[in-house]
A and B are shown apart, each in its own frame.
Chain A
Amino acid sequence: MNANAMAAAAADRADERRLLKESVAAFVERCGGATRARAMRGRSPGFDRAVWREFADLGWLAVTLPEQYGGLGLSLTEMAVIAEELGGALAPEPVIEAITLAAGVLRHAGGSVADELLPPIAAGEIIPTLAWQESDGNFDPAHVAATATADTTGGIRLNGSKAFVPHADAADGFIVTARDEQGLALYWIPADAPGVEIVLRPLATGAMVGCVSMKQVEVAPTQRIAAGRHAADALHLAIDEATVMASAALVGLIGKALNMTLDYIKVRTQFGKPIGSFQAIQHRAVDLYIQCELAQGALGDALAAHTEAPRSKAAQAATSRAKARCSDVALLICREAVQMHGAIGFTDEYDLGLYLNRALVLAAWLGNSAQHRRRYAAIGNASTQEASA
């Protein structure tokens, strides 16, 4: 391709992304935006399966899925457009949790379980969730205590317990990590498998996370998605991609919370002037705007790194950089937004609280800013050593 053709292709892609962004924004707005997020709190499932099927019909659940599974075969950048819009609209549907993360593991692992599950997942018929973390909250995917052991009848028994499992109340099945002789293994277990027990806890958004305990859960060897190095690679990549998507959702949320606050300080009047005319408020608004721009930049770099070399150290570092920045900025903006709103910002009736709660959930999910800064440093040190070796 010559330079002109490449520029034209890039312009086309940018156009397509803009169109995608507009259509997602219009759709979620039509669905009810923040009002719907509010209505879904405390419900089980914490989202609308009918809306989920519409997402499927629109192709949003199959964006990054290869064409062989009936997907669109597009990049993470397109998916980020969706994640950002859904994040900004506070859509409660677990697109990142079920699609980028859980289905992502299947997609990267391939094999017969993936062949079987991915088409109905893309069609919105099956909703999977990934159960990888354990109750100590360690966010290294290799840190697994749950076990998979062969029993005498040729089957496999899963034992252990998984924590912080998103939408554990609604998922049709779990992709669990367990340890066997080869190291890490991934299994698919239907939600109603005997021996599976789920204890639910509400998150700040009202959505449920579950602690999924497995006692002698019997699985057939055909339920093994992948094992060893291959399983670990698929898991790591899916988690990284979901981490970038969580950052995209945070960027969407950050933009909305900032705009909401800017709109408010322009009209709220005290002492005969809009509070946005006080320099103390102006400077802080500017600082938030700067942070907002930094978050977008970090997200953009993470997407670029994933496009270039998804499994590289550079992509991992950029992922952590984005998640650290976006998590911090979202919490900062929401905290400052409450302060600049005054008492109304502390009410449940005002939508700001919904943004604050979503920020808390997304910031804590898949590693918070402190955890990602630590990971960034570790990756950085490892790659310096690699380079000097």
Chain B
Amino acid sequence: MIDWNAMGDEEFRQEVRTFFEQNYPSELRYPPHRLRWAEIKGWYMTLAAKGWLAPTWPTLYGGMGLNPTKFLIFIEEQERWGVARTPDMGMTMVGPLLIKHGTEEQKSYYLPKILRGEHLWCQGYSEPNAGSDLASLKTSAIIDRDEFVINGQKTWTTLAQDATHIFMLVRTDPQAKKKQEGISFLLVDCKSPGITVRPIPNIAGNEEFCEVFFDNVRAPRANIVGELNKGWTIAKAMLGFERITLGSPKQSQYALGRLEILARQRGCFDDPVFLDKFTALQLDVADLVSVYARFVDIVKRGETLGPDVSLLKIWATETYSRISSLMVETAGAAGAIVGKVDFGGEPVDVLSSFYYARPAPIYGGTNEIQRNIIAKEVLGLPS
């Protein structure tokens, strides 16, 4: 077994880079939308065979055991080469969760199946009436002897149509004094009778998120993670790393690169007004990179991220949004054409950046909610 952490950073980077460059299917580089299982399965299996599916899991559980520094290098190289996200909820959420809070049975049953690509997980938190106010969720799970009986609805569940399993927050104590206190964390097999999944097409024309209905769905009691009614604390603890991935500058850097191609072809850099707009965004991205690095360092030192990490998500997603708008503007008459448009031999998909810049300030906690967090927890403003 290789001890990756013992390797020098540059050596490790080179190793990862070479592997991606040699093995990642070139037609899937920088996909304009979230790839479906049928498209990305091959790559998932390549990673599985290499033993690289779970970079952060301890080697004991079949992961690479990367420390935070090495993991960030891994992510950077992925993004640098335009390697698409796989259906990675099992790797990013379920694995770490079970390793920390799962029973021995849960670990030995689920973890290997994630690593073999047998189980694909989706995240069932949001409901039609519980979005920003997630703790008001209503999907209920009632104990019936050795089973939970689940009724209700989850929504916006990304790639549920491809998932074999869903990890979810359910209400197990409707009488709890605080609404956060009656919530439990459950693992459910999507093949269970009573589950219906309906994909919801998005404005970019792709089916990525879904509604998931639960009608008397039965799950073994053993599928609870952590204690009964303590699911909220568990879910909260999983948020930290998500905020940092959502704050990555790579999306903005890539979009800025596309904008540059388009603008060069249109001769926009001769226009001082455009030059100013472009440079402003370039500096926004440069500053994003340095703020990002600051939070990355915290992770590298093994410390926990504070509430100020919210600023990263806000700045990253809003910078991306501004770049996508300038792209539409710069494309002029071509800015409303769907799909790739040829700009001097370089195909640029103007609209897909614009479309995908829309939900980024919504998912993972809306930017309004992130601002509320900063106002209260960082600036100490009164409520």
In the bound complex, how far is the Cα of B129 from the Cα of A271, in angstroms? Answer: 10
In the bound complex, how far is the Cα of B371 from the Cα of A204, in angstroms? Answer: 32
In the bound complex, how far is the Cα of B359 from the Cα of A188, in angstroms? Answer: 45
A283 to chain B, nearest CB (A): 11
Q: Interface 1/0s, chain B 310-345, versus A by CB < 8 A?
A: 000000000001000100110111111111000000
A343 touches B201 (CB 8 A): no
Task: Look across to chain B and name the residue whose beta carbon is closest to the beta carbon of A134.
Answer: B333
Task: Look across to chain B and name the residue whose beta carbon is closest to the beta carbon of A164.
Answer: B333
Checking B133, B329, B366 against A369 with a beta-carbon cut-off of 8 angstroms, the contacting residue is: B329
A35 to chain B, nearest CB (A): 16
Checking B132, B202, B336, B371 against A346 with a beta-carbon cut-off of 8 angstroms, the contacting residue is: B202
A353 at the interface (CB under 8 A from B): yes
B201 touches A203 (CB 8 A): no
B337 touches A209 (CB 8 A): yes
A338 at the interface (CB under 8 A from B): yes
Checking B333, B336, B358 against A345 with a beta-carbon cut-off of 8 angstroms, the contacting residue is: B358
A342 touches B203 (CB 8 A): no
Give the residues from 262 to 279 in chain A that come closer than 8 angstroms, CB to CB, to chain B.
Answer: 269-272, 275, 278
A203 touches B336 (CB 8 A): yes
B211 to chain A, nearest CB (A): 10
Give the residues from 282 to 329 in chain B that come closer than 8 angstroms, CB to CB, to chain A.
Answer: 321, 325, 328-329
Task: Look across to chain B and name the residue whose beta carbon is closest to the beta carbon of A133.
Answer: B333
B120 to chain A, nearest CB (A): 21
A348 at the interface (CB under 8 A from B): yes
A313 at the interface (CB under 8 A from B): no
B315 to chain A, nearest CB (A): 16
B44 at the interface (CB under 8 A from A): no
- B residues less than 8 Å from A364 (CB atoms): 328, 331-336
A257 to chain B, nearest CB (A): 13
Q: Interface 1/0s, chain B 338-381, versus A by CB < 8 A?
A: 11000000000001001000110111001110011000000000
B172 at the interface (CB under 8 A from A): no
In the bound complex, how far is the Cα of B204 from the Cα of A360, in angstroms? Answer: 13
In the bound complex, how far is the Cα of B328 from the Cα of A205, in angstroms? Answer: 15
- A residues less than 8 Å from B361 (CB atoms): 339
In the bound complex, how far is the Cα of B137 from the Cα of A381, in angstroms? Answer: 60
Interface size on A, residues (CB 8 A): 45
Give the residues from 268 to 283 in chain B that come closer than 8 angstroms, CB to CB, to chain A.
Answer: 273
A370 at the interface (CB under 8 A from B): yes
Give the residues from 218 to 257 in chain A that come closer than 8 angstroms, CB to CB, to chain B.
Answer: none
Q: Interface 1/0s, chain B 197-220, versus A by CB < 8 A?
A: 000111101000100000000000
A360 touches B203 (CB 8 A): no
A204-B338, A343-B209, A360-B351 given; A271·B132 CB < 8 A = yes
B266 at the interface (CB under 8 A from A): yes
Task: Look across to chain A and name the residue whose beta carbon is closest to the beta carbon of B334.
Answer: A137
B131 at the interface (CB under 8 A from A): yes
Give the residues from 303 to 342 in chain A that come closer than 8 angstroms, CB to CB, to chain B.
Answer: 331, 335, 338-339, 342
Give the residues from 37 to 54 in chain B that come closer than 8 angstroms, CB to CB, to chain A.
Answer: none
B333 touches A139 (CB 8 A): yes
A122 to chain B, nearest CB (A): 28
B131 touches A270 (CB 8 A): yes
Task: Look across to chain A and name the residue whose beta carbon is closest to the beta carbon of B126.
Answer: A343
B156 at the interface (CB under 8 A from A): yes
Checking B205, B334, B363 against A343 with a beta-carbon cut-off of 8 angstroms, the contacting residue is: B363
A356 to chain B, nearest CB (A): 7
A249 to chain B, nearest CB (A): 14
- A residues less than 8 Å from B351 (CB atoms): 204, 360
A354 to chain B, nearest CB (A): 9
B378 to chain A, nearest CB (A): 16
Interface core residue of B126, B336, B351 (most chain A CB under 10 Å): B336
- B residues less than 8 Å from A338 (CB atoms): 203, 358, 362
Give the residues from 65 to 84 in chain A that come closer than 8 angstroms, CB to CB, to chain B.
Answer: none
Question: Which residues of A does B touch, CB under 8 Å?
Answer: 133, 136-137, 139, 163-164, 201-205, 209, 269-272, 275, 278, 280-281, 331, 335, 338-339, 342-343, 345-349, 353, 356-357, 360-361, 363-365, 367-371, 374
A204-B337, A335-B358, A339-B366 known; 19 other A-B pairs, CB under 8 Å? A137-B332, A139-B332, A163-B333, A201-B339, A270-B133, A272-B136, A342-B131, A342-B362, A343-B362, A343-B363, A346-B362, A347-B201, A348-B201, A353-B203, A360-B335, A360-B351, A368-B335, A370-B329, A374-B273
